[in-house]
Structure 1
Amino acid sequence: MTETPLGPDEIDDLARRARDGDRDALEDLLAAVRPRALNVCRGVLPYTPDAEDACQEAMINVATKIGGWNGQGRFTTWMHVVAVNSARSTYRRMKNQAVATDPHDHGPLERPDPRTTSVIAGTRLDLLEAMETIERDHPQFVEPLLLRDVYGLPYDEIARLVGAPLGTVKAQIHHGRKLARPLLRGQE
C-alpha cells in the first residue's frame, strides 16, 4: 500500500513544526520532500549516484538550516533552492576532485551522452560550466537565472526567495541570460 503524498499545506505545517523543534515532524518532513529534492538534483546531475549524493547533502542542509525558512513562501520552494545549491556544490566538489586526481589531462573529455542533453544548453554539464563562469564575476545572476530558466519558478517567488525586488530579479535574469548565451554556444 502506498501513502498519499502530502499536499503543500500539510508540508508547510510539518515544516513549521520542525522549525519550532518538533523532531518527529522533521523526520516526517524529510521523508515527504526527499523525492522532490532528488528530482531537483537529477535535473542538475545526470548520473543518478551523483544526484543521490547531492540529495543527501540537501536533506542534511534542510534538517540543519530549517530555521532559515521564514514561512513567507511555500516550504517546497525554499527546499528547491537548497536542493539546487546542494547539486551545484556536489558538482563543484566532483569537478575539483577530478582535476586533483588527474593533473596530467590526456586531451579533451568526451562529450556527455546525448540522453542527458538539456533543453537550454548543449548538455547539463555545459550549463553548469556556464553558471560557474558567470558566478566568478557576477554571482548575483546565477541563482535567479537557474530558478527561472531551469526550474521554471515564477518571478515573484524568486524575488521572495532571494530577498530582492521583483524588478531587480527580472533584470538579473535578463542580464544573466545575456552572459550565458555566448558561453552555451562555446564562444567565450
Structure 2
Amino acid sequence: MGDERQEELARRAATGDRAALNDLLAAIRPQVLRRCARFLPCFQDAEEACQDVLLQVARRIERFEGRSLFSTWLHVVVANSARQTYRTLKRRAVEEAHDLTPLDRPDPRTTSVIAGSRLDFLDALERLEARRPDLVAPIVLRDVCQLDYNEIAEHLGIPVGTVKSRIHQGRSDLREYLFQGA
C-alpha cells in the first residue's frame, strides 16, 4: 500500500471511520512487525510487541491529529511498545531466574551475537533513560526508526539543532554504557 493511501486511511480512522481503521491495521501489520523485530531479537517477542502496537493504534487513533505524518506517529508507537515489551520480558526473566536450576540457564556461547547486541542496546537505552530521558526519543527515532532530523524535530517539537545535539550526546552516553564492560 502506498504511503498516501496509508496516510488517508489514518486520517479517516482518526475521525471514527471503523472500516478505514480495519484497513489501516491490516496494511501496517507487516511493517510494524519488521520494525518490532529491529528491537526484539526473538520473533515471538516481536509478534507480541506488534500486536500491542496494533492495539494501541486502534485505541489511540483519534489522538492522531495529522500535524505530522502517520508514519512518524507510528514509529513512535512502535519504538515505545517494543521497548515496553522488552522491559516486561526482562522483568519476567528475572522473576523466573529465581526458579531455575543452574543447568536450565541459557549457555551464553550459543546466544546469537545479533540478539545479544540488541539486548545490550536496549539495556543501555534503559540506563540512558534513567539518567537523561530527553536523549532517548531522538536516538530511537534516528538510529532505530531511521527518521531524518527534520521529521524528528517536527515530531518532538524541538529545533533541528537540538535534535542533532541530543543525538550526539545520547550516542556518546550509549557508547560509554555499551563498552564499560569491554
Equivalent position of 2:62 in the other structure: 67
Offset at 1:108? Answer: 9.2
Equivalent position of 2:84 in the other structure: 89
Distance 2:48 2:3 in 1: 25
Equivalent position of 1:140 in the other structure: 134
Cα distance change, pair 109–78 in 1 and its aligned pair in 2 (3 A): farther
Distance 2:39 2:46 in 1: 8
Deviation sequence 1:134-185 (CA, Å, 0-9, x none): 0001111111101112222100101112222212111111110111111121
Please report the RMSD computed on the Cα atoms of aligned residues, expressed in angstroms: 2.0
Q: Match for 1:149 among 143, 146, 154?
A: 143
Offset at 1:104? Answer: 7.0
TM-score by length of 2: 0.90
Q: Match for 2:50 among 42, 52, 55?
A: 55
Residue 179 of structure 2 corresponds to residue 185 of structure 1? yes
Equivalent position of 1:160 in the other structure: 154
Offset at 1:187? Answer: 4.2
Equivalent position of 1:17 in the other structure: 12
Residue 108 of structure 2 corresponds to residue 110 of structure 1? yes
Larger displacement relative to structure 2 (30-39 or 72-81): 72-81
Distance 1:127 1:18 in 2: 34
Equivalent position of 1:169 in the other structure: 163
Q: Match for 1:37 among 32, 36, 40?
A: 32
Q: Please list every run of 5 or more consecutive structure 2 residues that lacks an aligned counterpart in the other structure.
A: none
TM-score by length of 1: 0.87
Q: Which structure carries more helix by proportion? A: 2
Offset at 1:186? Answer: 3.1
Q: Which has the higher contact order (CA 8 A, sep 6+)?
A: 2
Q: Please list every run of 5 or more consecutive structure 1 residues that lacks an aligned counterpart in the other structure.
A: 1-5
Equivalent position of 1:100 in the other structure: 95
Offset at 1:110? Answer: 1.7
Cα distance change, pair 32–80 in 1 and its aligned pair in 2 (3 A): same
Work out whether residues 73 and 160 of structure 1, in 8 Å CA contact, stay in contact via their aligned partners in 2. yes
Equivalent position of 1:3 in the other structure: none
Q: Among the aligned pairs, what percent are the same residue?
A: 46
Equivalent position of 1:7 in the other structure: 2
Work out whether residues 14 and 65 of structure 2, in 8 Å CA contact, stay in contact via their aligned partners in 1. no
